[in-house]
Structure 1
């Protein structure tokens, strides 16, 4: 069926705002520039890999996006809303979720209880700690644990999980809050070689199932090239390239900057 023509004089429909937009984002400490004028926009449902050697500014960039650090210049926009001055918990309410390089779960609670508490926090309910945390679990908890392939470990205490399973549980805690934008900071750090493949599959399944936007910092290039729609290549705090993996890796600036350096 042919598309109806736009009426004469009608304004064209505005394009949706990107899930995340950074505008000239910069951060300096004591005269040292850590993040230098980063400008990029990540579309809804896009997977962006942020790469660069240690000291390139990747985690500092995530700190600026999540609100842990206040920029010295520039803006952060989530879904078109300027959140540059907002605190981390406000950004979380807008749909931003983040994991860190070190695991952060309640070790003495089960996987199910961990996710149940995260779901309860999203609902705005306060948890009464004299009750069992499992009382917070519900259908959403079971669904999230299944998505990250932890259903069979739902009754296990988090402290007894393998490092790879703890990473899955961290993802589950984020998903219980139903985020629209997820920042993953080196999720493979400390994970055994045998668990990397399954964790990669879980991250891919999460992104496709929830149709969320993902930004991920990781040193396993084979993982990033498998998952990413675009690469954001950082060097000395600046953004050298932001393109599909093939184009970014073929960029002369990228090749020159990383000659002899491990990404």
Structure 2
């Protein structure tokens, strides 16, 4: 008997569904097209760097993936499930986690208490806000803090951390929820030059240890070239290239649009 065709985004026995698949994803405001027909598929455990000049639509694409913005056309699939109409919290339950360009931690709580709150949210106990978050800490919290290299600062007040350490703490908050897909929106923004290397190492360790899929927007090209399996290059809302770093960077369209001149 002939084999029935497989629908887009569906898994097969030999090939699992991508961790993230975007199909003709578009978003327009009035007559302005911000994201224009983006189509890509990120494999489970893959590290994808999203690059492009300012205004290329990178953060807007993240907003579409995370559910903060609803597309005017196209679909978003997480592990084969169509989540295009789902709200952000529903996508979080499916294993999507995201950081933003601006650091967001509970400044008056300790590092451990911040992670404890995230752990409570994962188990559905976050409504008990009067209970000290540290009481929810345990092996998972300790493991997460060790992974992001903050175990030695567990008792420190989060508001007193350096910007780089706050970025590590944001990663810890995501990891406490057990995400399978992580969106990192300019994690190096505001981080001192001396902390960039350390934070890069933390992100690499997190991705390898947890085997999660990572999409990252970042302007530090040396960081992206060290971490990324593939580069997704955006320009004027459209995807110019989606390939291994050396292939994408050698593309004449990428060089003209993003780098301004041939390498």
- Using the size of structure 1 for normalisation, the TM-score is 0.94
Structure 2 CA distance for aligned equivalents of residues 26 and 245 of structure 1: 25
Alignment check: 8 A CA contact 2:150 2:165 kept: yes
Alignment check: 8 A CA contact 2:50 2:58 kept: yes
Q: Which residue of 1 aligns with 2:253?
A: 253
Alignment check: 8 A CA contact 1:117 1:127 kept: no
Q: Which residue of 2 aligns with 1:118?
A: 118
Structure 2 CA distance for aligned equivalents of residues 111 and 179 of structure 1: 20
Shift of 1:127: 4.0
Structure 1 CA distance for aligned equivalents of residues 197 and 223 of structure 2: 8
Query: Any residues of structure 2 matched to 1:131-210 within 5 Å, and which?
Result: 131-210=131-210
Q: Which residue of 1 aligns with 2:229?
A: 229
Shift of 1:164: 0.2
Q: Which residue of 1 aligns with 2:8?
A: none
Shift of 1:260: 2.8
Q: Which residue of 2 aligns with 1:103?
A: 103
Shift of 1:198: 0.3
Q: Which residue of 1 aligns with 2:215?
A: 215
Shift of 1:259: 4.6
Structure 2 CA distance for aligned equivalents of residues 20 and 147 of structure 1: 25
Structure 1 CA distance for aligned equivalents of residues 18 and 97 of structure 2: 16
Q: Which runs of 5+ in 1 are unaligned?
A: 1-7
Q: Which residue of 1 aligns with 2:82?
A: 82
- Using the size of structure 2 for normalisation, the TM-score is 0.94
Shift of 1:13: 3.0
Alignment check: 8 A CA contact 1:249 1:255 kept: yes
Secondary structure at the aligned position of 2:56 is classed as: coil
**What is the aligned residue count?**
254
Deviant stretches of 4+, over 6 Å: 8-12
What per-residue deviation string (whole Å, max 9, x for no partner) do you get for residues 191-223 of structure 1? Answer: 000000000000000000000000000000000
Query: Any residues of structure 2 matched to 1:42-57 within 5 Å, and which?
Result: 42-57=42-57
Secondary structure at the aligned position of 1:258 is classed as: helix
Alignment check: 8 A CA contact 1:232 1:243 kept: yes
Q: Which runs of 5+ in 2 are unaligned?
A: 5-11
Structure 1 residues 185 and 259: alpha-carbon distance in aligned structure 2, compared to 1, 3 A threshold = closer
Alignment check: 8 A CA contact 2:117 2:126 kept: no
Secondary structure at the aligned position of 2:255 is classed as: helix
C-alpha root-mean-square deviation of aligned residues, in Å? 1.5
Alignment check: 8 A CA contact 1:66 1:96 kept: yes
Structure 2 CA distance for aligned equivalents of residues 92 and 259 of structure 1: 35
Alignment check: 8 A CA contact 1:188 1:218 kept: yes
